[in-house]
Structures are given as C-alpha cells and as structure tokens.
Amino acid sequence: MISNLLIFILISFIMIFTSLKIYPVFLIPSIIISVSSGLFLFFYRKSLKLFNGHKIFFSLLGIISGYLLSTIVLSILNPFIVMIQTPLLPYFKLAFQLFLMYIIAFSFYIKSYELKQIYTSEGTSKRKSKEEGEDSDNYKILDTSVIIDGRIADISETGFLEGILIIPRFVLNELQQIADSADSLKRQRGRRGLDILNKMKKGIKAVVQIVDDDFPEVKEVDEKLIYLGKKLNGTVVTNDFNLNKVAQIQGVQVLNINELANAVKPIVLPGEEMTILISKEGKDSDQGVGYLEDGTMVVVEKGHQYMGKKVDVVVTSVLQTTAGRMIFAK
C-alpha cells in the first residue's frame, strides 16, 4: 500500500508540475488523469501485478529521469521552438515530455532486474566474481522439487555450486500453495521447502536471490522455468526427470541432484567384499535386500534366511540405471 501511495503522489506531482510549467490549461485534465491512475494502481496492483519491488523504484526513476531530460532538451531548443508560431506548440511540448518519460520509464522497467544487480549485494558479488575471472552470468535456477529435497542447501554451502542461486517468484508461490495444502503430507513437504529456503538465505557461501520474472501466458511452472533459463542464460537445478529431459531438448542446461548423488557414490567392483544388513525380502523367494549408507540397494542371493542379520557378502555385478544403482551380491 505504501508503494502504491508513493506512485500516486509522484505521478500526480510530475504531471501537475509539467502542466503548470508548459501550459496551464492542462492542469484540470492532468489532475483527473493522475488521480485516476493512482487509484487504479492502488486498487488493482495485486490482480494485475504490474509493479513488484525493484520494478516500482526503477519505473519511477525512469519517469523522473525522462521528465528531467525532456526539460533540459526543451530548454536547449527553446530559442528555435519559439520561432514556430502555432497554438499547438504547448501540446507538442507536453507530448514530447510525456513520450520521453514513457520511453525511459519503460526501458527502466524492462531492465529493472539488471539495474537492481548494480545496487545490491548480489550485484556486488557478481562484479567481484567478474574481476576475479569468474562467469558473470552463472545463474542456477532452482525448481520446487530440488528445494523440497533439501540437499541443495548442503551442496551450496560446500562451495561446489558456483554462481547465484535464483528462486523465481512463481516457484515460491508454488511452495506456499503446497505448504497451505489440506493434505498433511503435502503441507509438510511445502513447509520443509520454505525452511530450506530460509536456511539457504542465512548461509554464508550461497548467494540466494528471489526474482519476480514471470510469464503469464505460460501456465505450467516447469515451462516457466525453461523460459526463465533461456532468458537469463542460466542452468535449471532440479530432481524432476521429465523436466530434465524437456529442458535439455529445448537447449537449457540442467543440473540434476540425483545424477550428482549417483556420480559421487563410492565405486563398487565385482569381487569386493562388504558387510550388509539384510532388512527385507527380495523379488525372488530366496533373495534378501539390504542398503548401503548412501541408500544403494544391495540384492543378496540366498539372503532370505539371514533376514535381520548382518552378513559378509561378495559383489557379483553392479547395475546402473537412470533411477540409481543396484548391487548384486552373494
């Protein structure tokens, strides 16, 4: 509400001041237009989502800059302008000022994300990274699944994940909807995701930034992530297998945490010995199943009789799949 009120006051002041300076006849129309614009933004901002945070600031800065620049230009050209004898001259002056204000405000609005980078801690980090020779556009865009999973917080704190971690506003909204779900399991997952985000924001090594970029014409969150990845030339971080494939097809780089977890698991070769706890039955009647500390499933031949016991086994083969790794032993 405060931001809307500021918009109302500034737009009204600029339009009324411009009218008084250029041609007094515009005073009444400008008051009507400015009041209507202010009330419109005040009551319909949430539904239209025209301005968000830094977009408000830079849009207003663009309006003021446009007004100042147009005033300077008109002052310089005034000796030539007064030579034109026409009753429409004040209208041309006002049209020129409004046009320049609109062009600059619109440009600032479009580039508000980049402008914000210059004046924020994230922007400072980016410039410092650039001076040190790092990639200045190293954005990692997180999806809902990877936030709820939680491992991304630990990975980012180790320093292995470079760049700025981008949390799109539409992903944050999806997390909020999950956290408010009537289903207790979904609600628990959503709240876990929000807790993970808070943990990451408080982290020392990870630079986390929430962005307001959205694509209203796109309905699915996964599609929005791909659009954002293209716009920022960033990398989408996910656990979603389908999103992984679709993003790669459309030329967007993807980091899959599950693939990373599989890649860093200790290598097990046939013939190696290990001790495993047989915790449940296997698919076949004589098989037993146990798990390594990293969650890798171990299928033990003739292990059914050792249910609930630790046994020494020898690895016979290793099967790597897209879902993970399975070890067969006897």
pLDDT tens, 209-246? 888 888 877 888 888 888 888 888 888 998 888 888 88
Q: In what order do the strands lie in the sheet with 235-238?
A: 207-211, 164-168, 139-142, 235-238, 253-256
Better pLDDT: 145 or 11: 145
Kindly tell me if the per-residue pLDDT of 313 is higher than 70.
Answer: yes
Domain boundary among 84, 117, 150: 117
Tell me the whole-structure pTM to 2 decimals. 0.50
Rounded to an integer, what distance in angstroms lies between the CA atom of residue 125 and that of residue 207?
A: 8
Instruction: Reduce the DSSP state of residue 161 to 3 states and report it.
Output: coil
Which amino acid belongs to residue 282?
G
Tell me which residue range forms the domain holding 318.
273-329
Rounded to an integer, what distance in angstroms lies between the CA atom of residue 123 and that of residue 299?
A: 51
Say how many domains are in the chain. Answer: 3
pLDDT tens, 234-284? 889 988 888 888 888 888 888 888 878 777 777 788 888 888 888 888 888
Mean pLDDT, rounded, of the chain: 75
- The answer as to whether 129 is a domain residue is no
Q: What pLDDT, on a 0 to 100 scale, did the predictor assign at position 118?
A: 59
Domain boundary among 218, 242, 263: 263
pLDDT tens, 49-73? 444 555 676 777 777 788 788 778 8
Burial of 88 (0-12, 13-18, 19+ CB in 10 A): exposed
Taking the C-alpha atoms of 57, 58, 59 and 64 in order, what is their torsion angle to the nearest 10 degrees? 90
Kindly tell me if the per-residue pLDDT of 15 is higher than 60.
Answer: no
Whether 104 and 203 share a structural domain: no
Whether 102 and 155 share a structural domain: no
Rounded to an integer, what distance in angstroms lies between the CA atom of residue 258 and that of residue 243?
A: 13
Q: 29 pLDDT band (50/70/90 cuts)? A: low
Q: 159 pLDDT band (50/70/90 cuts)? A: confident
CATH number assigned to the domain comprising residue 223:
3.40.50.1010
